[in-house]
């Protein structure tokens, strides 16, 4: 396999983030999150960021919010609000992930899977078989898990585990990818303060 010279950044909001609406669904996502390995608040939302090849400060974000449609558009992330994991990837893996997300643009939110996560186990093999051809409904952790699987960055077993909750995405990526902590932006031309 060719050397990984690009990256895909998983971007997370923790349950205490000021960017989250004070909504019952965000509180439920935090309450039913798996325990964290580091004792921090659980992750309750995840998106993917694809930095531009020539300018890592710019790029597109892929994600979905409750009740919305899958989006893929330019976005900047503030380090104070988000937690990041950079996943080293080859050009081919980045291209496959972006193509998959582009194909899913406009897909609806997966209400059934969101409210009845046990039912999701029935859909894993369907999703696996149809990733390359069908537009399907998603919630945030599903979209990220299957994008990474389609790109060849995680396997089917990892995707099945990760799709259940954003905290599972964080844990699966941490345990199965050669990640490094990142901030989804460049520090070039930024004076270092000690």
In a domain, 94, yes or no: yes
What is the tally of structural domains in the chain?
Answer: 1
In a domain, 187, yes or no: no
**CATH number of residue 104's parent domain:** 3.90.1720
Boundaries of domain holding 158: 6-181
In a domain, 91, yes or no: yes
Three-class secondary structure assignment of the chain: CCCCCEEEEEEEEECCCCCCCCCHHHHHHHHCCCCCCCCCCCEEEEEEEEECCCCCCCEEEEECCCCCECEEEECCCCCCCCEEEEEEECHHHHHHHHHHHHHHCCCEECHHHHHCHHHHHHHHHHHHHHCCCCCCCECHHHHHHHHHHHHCCCCHHHHHHHCCCHHHHHHHHHHHCCCEECCCCCCCCCCCCC
Q: In tens digits, what is the pLDDT along the chain, a chain of 194 residues?
A: 456 689 999 999 988 777 777 666 666 676 677 777 777 888 899 999 999 988 887 899 999 998 899 999 998 887 778 989 999 999 999 999 999 999 999 999 887 777 766 555 557 677 777 777 778 889 899 999 999 999 999 999 999 888 888 999 999 999 888 877 665 554 444 443 43
């Amino acid at each position: 396999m060719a050397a990984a010279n690009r990256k895909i950044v998983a971007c997370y909001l923790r349950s205490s983030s000021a960017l989250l609406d004070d909504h019952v669904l965000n509180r439920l996502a935090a309450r039913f999150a798996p325990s964290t390995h580091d004792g921090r608040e659980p992750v309750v939302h995840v998106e993917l960021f694809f930095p531009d090849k020539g300018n890592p400060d710019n790029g597109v974000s892929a994600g979905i919010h409750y009740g919305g449609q899958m989006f893929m558009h330019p976005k900047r992330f503030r380090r104070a609000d988000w937690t990041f994991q950079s996943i080293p990837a080859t050009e081919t893996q980045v291209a496959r992930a972006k193509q998959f997300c582009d194909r899913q643009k406009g897909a609806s939110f997966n209400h059934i899977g969101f409210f009845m996560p046990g039912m999701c186990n029935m859909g894993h093999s369907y999703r696996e078989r149809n990733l390359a051809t069908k537009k399907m409904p998603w919630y945030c952790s599903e979209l990220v898990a299957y994008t990474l699987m389609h790109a060849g960055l995680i396997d089917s077993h990892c995707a099945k585990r990760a799709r259940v909750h954003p905290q599972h995405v964080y844990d699966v990526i941490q345990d199965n990818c050669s990640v490094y902590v990142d901030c989804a932006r460049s520090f070039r031309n930024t004076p270092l303060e000690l």
